[in-house]
């Protein structure tokens, strides 16, 4: 399906109408989106800094035990993000900052998957306060930069994008 | 008072923030305000979650250096917040929601300072630690809600 067709279909959907007919839905979704981003950036940022070699009094596996906070934040933001997208699809579908944001989320996702599948097992057997291998530090840095880029693209979307 | 507010709003910095079409003006200041919010509320949430029992394998005292990052995040938000206020001083100062937000932040700062002292001091999260953690979560969340609602009132 072409993007335009999908946008038209979403715009005409009853879900879109439901969102737009209620004045409280959008502000509530925004509030939740900001709470979600705080949880995501806070917990992921701490874990990333640990991967980069800071906070070595905390083992990497212990720091990872805080990551459920990030997953909760991410889940909240996917759900509220879908509300925005369904509510005003034309505002995002043709907005380059939106697609940059999606791209950086993908980078963060692939990076996290790489850590889980290729590095997590190796990291688990490191000494608790060990200086992480260079690859692990790099994965931490990529994650930190990617999530800050996601935040930047999202917040700058109304100003740098081209759909308003 | 209204003359003072008007002169603040008419200052070069306020005019630039409000009227410049530069991406470095309002959009960037607002984005930095959001980055600071994520740092302050995010780090608080991490520490609060630990105090409430998540990730017990993390030594509480080891979280101490996080507060240095948190206070830098707050400094960023104080500075960008002041600039955003000057740009819209008359309206902002007449909004109840704005003053509620400032009050919530003031309370949250007192609680965060207490949490910081607790983290830097002892290692056993007692009932007081849990109470502070809950207060911190509630106050920062309420500050975010008030801040977001400023776009609508």
Q: Is B99 left (phi over 0), alpha (psi -120 to 50) or beta?
A: alpha
pLDDT of A164 strictly over 60: no
Task: Mark yes or no for CB contact B42/A160 under 8 Å.
Answer: no
Q: Dihedrals φ, ψ of B23, to 5°?
A: -70, -20
What pLDDT was estimated at residue A1?
58
What pLDDT was estimated at residue A129?
85
Residues of B in contact with A65 (CB under 8 A): 54-58
Q: What is the value of ipTM here, to two decimals?
A: 0.94
Q: Are A27 and B152 in contact (CB under 8 A)?
A: yes
pLDDT in tens, B19-45: 999 999 999 999 999 999 999 999 999
pLDDT of A163 strictly over 90: no
To probe the interface with B, which of A25, A32, A38 has the most B CB atoms within 10 Å? A38
Per-residue CA distances from B99 to A77, A146, B80, B108 (Å): 28, 34, 17, 14
CA B51 from centre of chain: 20
Q: List the domain boundaries for chain A.
A: 3-160
Count how many residues are written for chain B. Answer: 153
User: Torsion angle of alpha carbons A136, A141, A146, A152, nearest 10°?
Assistant: 160
pLDDT of A46 strictly over 80: yes
pLDDT in tens, B93-135: 999 999 999 999 999 999 999 999 999 986 566 788 999 999 9
Among B23, B149, B151, select the one facing A159 at the smallest CB separation. B23
Measured CA to CA, the distance from residue B125 to residue A59 in angstroms comes to: 20
pLDDT in tens, A117-156: 999 999 988 888 889 999 999 999 999 999 999 999 999 9
To probe the interface with A, which of B32, B38, B51, B123 has the most A CB atoms within 10 Å? B38
What pLDDT was estimated at residue B127?
82
Other C-beta atoms closer than 10 Å to the C-beta of B17 total 22
The alpha carbons of chain B give a radius of gyration, in whole angstroms, of 18
Task: Mark yes or no for CB contact B34/A34 under 8 Å.
Answer: yes
């Amino acid at each position: 399906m072409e993007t335009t067709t999908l946008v038209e279909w979403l715009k005409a959907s009853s879900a879109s109408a439901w969102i737009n007919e209620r004045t409280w839905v959008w502000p509530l979704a925004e509030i939740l989106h900001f709470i979600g981003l705080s949880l995501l950036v806070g917990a992921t940022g701490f874990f990333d800094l640990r991967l980069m070699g800071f906070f070595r009094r905390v083992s990497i596996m212990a720091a990872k035990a805080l990551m459920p906070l990030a997953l909760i934040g991410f889940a909240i933001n996917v759900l509220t993000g879908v509300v925005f997208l369904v509510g005003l699809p034309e505002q995002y579908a043709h907005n380059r900052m939106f697609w940059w944001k999606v791209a950086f989320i993908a980078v963060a996702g692939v990076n996290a998957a790489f850590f889980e599948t290729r590095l997590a097992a190796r990291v688990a057997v490191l000494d608790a306060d060990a200086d992480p291998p260079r690859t692990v530090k790099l994965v931490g840095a990529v994650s930190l930069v990617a999530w800050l880029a996601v935040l930047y693209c999202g917040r700058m979307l109304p100003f740098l994008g081209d759909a308003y | 008072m209204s003359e003072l507010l008007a002169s603040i709003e008419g200052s070069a910095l306020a005019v630039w923030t409000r009227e410049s079409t530069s991406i470095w003006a309002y959009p960037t200041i607002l984005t930095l305000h959001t980055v600071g919010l994520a740092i302050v509320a995010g780090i608080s949430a991490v520490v609060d979650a630990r105090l409430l029992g998540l990730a017990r394998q993390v030594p509480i005292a080891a979280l101490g250096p996080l507060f240095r990052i948190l206070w830098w995040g707050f400094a960023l938000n104080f500075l960008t917040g002041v600039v955003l206020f000057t740009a819209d001083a008359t309206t902002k100062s007449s909004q109840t929601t704005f003053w509620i937000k400032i009050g919530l932040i003031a309370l949250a700062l007192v609680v965060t300072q207490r949490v910081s002292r607790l983290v830097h001091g002892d290692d056993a999260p007692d009932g007081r630690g849990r109470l502070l953690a809950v207060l911190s979560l509630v106050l920062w969340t309420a500050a975010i809600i008030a801040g977001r609602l400023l776009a609508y009132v």
